[in-house]
Amino acid sequence: MKKQYDAVIVGAGFAGSVCARVLAEGGRRVLLLDRRDHIGGNAYDEKDESGVLIHKYGPHIFHTNDREVYEFLSRFTEWNGYQHRVLGRVGELSMPIPFNLDSLRIAYGEEEAASLEALLVQTYGRDTQITIGALRSSDDERLRALGEYVYEHIFLHYTAKQWGVPASEVDSSVTSRVPVRIGHDDRYFVDTYQGLPTDSFTALFERMLDHENITVTLGCDACERLTFANGEILFDGEVFLGDVIYSGMPDELFGYKYGRLPYRSLDFEFKTLDMDDFQGYGTVNYTMHEPYTRITEFKHMTGQRIEGKTTVLYEYPRSYEAKEGQIPYYAILNPENLALHARYREEAALYPRLRLLGRLAEYKYYNMDAITGEALRFARSIL
C-alpha cells in the first residue's frame, strides 16, 4: 500500500474530490475513501423512485464570484443558469426573502409601504442593500419599527428553530448581516455565477474523479484504517509517508480523546406528490412557528420536466446526538467549541503530512465554492 499511493484522501465531497483531481493531474497516485456508498458528499443527488432528481442531503445551489472556482468546476459540468428565489411564508402572508420593496407592500399595504419606501430611498438610496442591524439602530423611529418587524418576522423565530434555542436567546448581533433590499431584486444570491449542474452534481463528481491516478473506495471507514501514533501515520498497519487529507470529523479521527464536538443536524422528510407543481418556488421558508424551516421543491431548481409528479423536502432542524444514521451538518460556533476544535487541530499538527480540510474537519461553515477554492489552493501547494 505505502508504495502504491502518494496520497490518501478521506471524504469524496468537494474538499476531497477537488484535491484528488488536482493531485492526480500533478502525477500523484491518489486513494480516495468514503464511508458512504456514493461520491459527492453532501452535494450528492439522485433520482428518487418517481424519477425526480433530488438532493439527498438538502438543496444545494452553486453560486460564486470566484472565477477560478467556476472555471475549474466548469471543466466537469455545464450549468443550468438557475437563479435561486425564496418565498417567505410569514404567518398568512407570502413575501420575497430577502425582504425587499415588494415584501414591504405585502407586509404593510400599499399606502403605508409607499410612505416607508420614500423614507428608505431618501435615507439609503434606491437599489441599495442594508442590514436589519442598520434599520434597528436607525435614528428614525419608523425605520427602527420596520427593522423590528423584519427582525421578528423573517429572522428571529426562523433562527431560533434553526439553532434550537428560545427566541429570547438568539444573539441579536447576528442581525448585522441579514439583508434588506431597497429595490425589487428578489434573487436570493447576487453572485456573478449561479446555477445547478445541467446533468446533476453526482455527474459532476463522476467526471472530476474519472482519472487514471484516482482510485475511489466507497463504503470504507477511514478511521478503521488510519492510525496516528508518535508522529507516524499508519495505513492498514503500515507506516504511510505520503499526504493524508481528511475531511471528516476531527474528534472521531482521534478517538474523541478530548470529547465530542457539538453539531446541529437536520431531519429530512421527502414527499412525492401527484401534481405538476406544489409551491411554484424552489424554496419556501417558514419563518414563524411551524416545526420545519423550509420546503424545497426540486423541479424548480433542476428544471427537470416530469409530468404529474413532484418531490418536496421538509427540513426539521435537530440537535446532533451521534445516533445511528444521524448526520452532523453544521458546526456550532461558540468559544467553547472552537477551543475544543483547536485541541484537535493541535493534535493533527503533530503529523506534518496530515491536513484537516472541509466543513467537518475545520469545524466551520463553507459554501461549495469556498471549499472548492480552499481545496484548489491546498492541493496546488502540495504539488
Contact region with ligand FAD (CB under 6 A), list: 191-199, 273-281, 343-351, 367-375: 367-375
Q: Cα dist. 172→68, 130, 137, 151 in Å?
A: 36, 16, 12, 9
Record the cell numbers describing residue 1, joined without a space.
500500500
| Spatial distance between the Cα atoms of 99 and 314, rounded to a whole number of angstroms | 22
CB of 383 to ligand FAD, least distance (A): 20
- Residue 242 interacting with ligand FAD (CB under 6 A): no
Query: Contact region for ligand FAD (CB under 6 A) — 230-238, 300-308, 341-349, 356-364?
Result: 356-364
CB-count burial class (<10 Å; 0-12, 13-18, 19+) for 3: exposed
- Judged by CB under 6 A, does residue 371 bind ligand FAD? yes
223 binding ligand FAD? (CB under 6 A): yes
Largest CA distance in the chain: 75
Q: Is 366 in the site for ligand FAD (CB under 6 A)?
A: yes
- Per DSSP, what are the bridge partners of residue 90? 93
CB atoms < 10 A from the CB of 164, how many?
13
Site size toward ligand FAD (CB under 6 A) is: 34
Residue 64: name the closest of 48, 79, 75, 76 by CA: 79
Contact call for residue 43 and ligand FAD (CB under 6 A): yes
- 54 lines the binding site for ligand FAD (CB under 6 A): no
Whichever of 183 and 303 has its CB closer to ligand FAD, that residue is: 303
Exactly one of 2, 46, 58, 227 binds ligand FAD (CB under 6 A); that residue is 58
Told to check if 162 binds ligand FAD by CB under 6 A, we report no
Q: Does 33 bind ligand FAD (CB under 6 A)?
A: yes
Instruction: Give Cα separations from 55 to 19, 97, 216, 371 (angstroms).
Output: 23, 22, 22, 19
Q: Tell me how far, at minimum, the Cβ of 106 lies from ligand FAD, in Å.
A: 25
Q: Return the H-helix or E-strand segment holding 283.
A: strand 283-286
Would you state the cell numbers that stand for residue 383, as one nine-digit string? Answer: 504539488
Helical axes 14-25 vs 201-208, angle rounded to 10°: 30
Q: What is the rounded radius of gyration, in angstroms, for the C-alpha atoms of the chain? A: 23
Among residues 21, 36, 56, 181, the one that binds ligand FAD under rule CB under 6 A = 36
Rounded to the nearest whole angstrom, what is the least distance from the CB of residue 51 to ligand FAD in the complex?
23
Closest among 310, 314, 257 to 283, alpha carbons compared: 314
Q: Output 146 or 379, the one with its CB closest to ligand FAD.
A: 379
DSSP strands (E only) in 289-353: 294-297, 310-319, 330-331
Report the nearest approach of ligand FAD to the CB of residue 57 (Å): 6
Interface of this chain with ligand FAD, residues 330 to 349, rule: CB under 6 A: none
Pick 106 or 223: Cβ nearer ligand FAD: 223
Q: Whose CA is closest to 340, among 265, 250, 264?
A: 250
Tell me how far, at minimum, the Cβ of 322 lies from ligand FAD, in Å. Answer: 13
Among 9, 54, 61, 143, binds ligand FAD (CB under 6 A): 61
41 contacts ligand FAD (rule: CB under 6 A): yes
1's CB contacts (< 8 A; 6+ apart) are: 235, 236, 238, 240
DSSP letter, residue 152 = I
Q: Give me the least distance between CB of 244 and ligand FAD, in Å please.
A: 12
15 forms part of the interface with ligand FAD (CB under 6 A): yes
Find the shortest distance in angstroms from Cβ 320 to ligand FAD: 12
8 Å CB contact between 245 and 19? yes
Stretch that binds ligand FAD, among 204-212, 287-295, 345-353, 355-363 (CB under 6 A): 355-363
Under the criterion CB under 6 A, does residue 299 sit at the interface with ligand FAD? no
Verify binding: residue 34, ligand FAD, rule CB under 6 A.
Answer: yes
- Footprint on this chain of ligand FAD (rule: CB under 6 A): 10-16, 33-36, 41-43, 58-62, 221-223, 247-248, 266, 329, 358-360, 366-369, 371
